[in-house]
Amino acid sequence: MAAAGTKQPADTETETETPPPEPPGKNRRRRLLFLAIPVLVAGGGAGLWFGGPLPRWLGLRKPRPAAANDANPAMPVVHSLELPEIIANLNPGPGQNAAFIKLQAVVELASARDVAIARAGLPRLLDLFQTYLREMRPEELAGSAGTWRLREELIARANVAIAPARVTDVLFTELLVQ
């Protein structure tokens, strides 16, 4: 028999054995985990940043002060001048029946000072609108694009008529083409 202090050959073989190979799915899961965690952290960070709390937590953005009446915010002051009703005949073109336009509009102005200037220049403004409308054809007013072009042209003509006042918009309250 062998002495107690000596090693047997069977004992040395068990110490030098390599561990059994890992199953192939475990390595894939580990790689997926290493890719998914940074993506999830980056996505969560982006959501917190663009959502608003992260910059506030870091002190980069001051918190919004609570208003006394958040439910009913103050309406912006709009300076406007209501125009009288305009009725004009449109240019029918050759071989077409006569067509008319009925227009009622509100002119939105940049400041309160411009309202007084616009009232003084109202006859010139109405004259420019009337002459422009008389040259339009009914098919030019078709659809929303026609209404948009009409609005842009009236804004440009209004700015010429009541300069130095500045017209920001022309709002149609009534627009009929017959």
Residue located via tokens 């799915």 = 25
Specify the pLDDT at position 127.
94
Give which of 151, 167, 161, 75 is closest to 115, Cα–Cα: 167
- What the chain holds in terms of domains, given with CATH numbers, is 24-65 (no CATH), 79-177 (3.30.479.30)
Residues of the chain with pLDDT under 70: 1-17, 19-26, 61-77
Q: Which amino acid is at 90?
A: L
- Cα distance between residue 26 and residue 94, in whole Å: 84
User: Within 13 A of 115's CA, how many CA atoms are on the CB side?
Assistant: 10
Specify the pLDDT at position 79.
87
Cis amide prior to 23 (ω within 30 degrees): no
Specify the pLDDT at position 97.
87
Mean pLDDT, the chain, whole residue set: 82
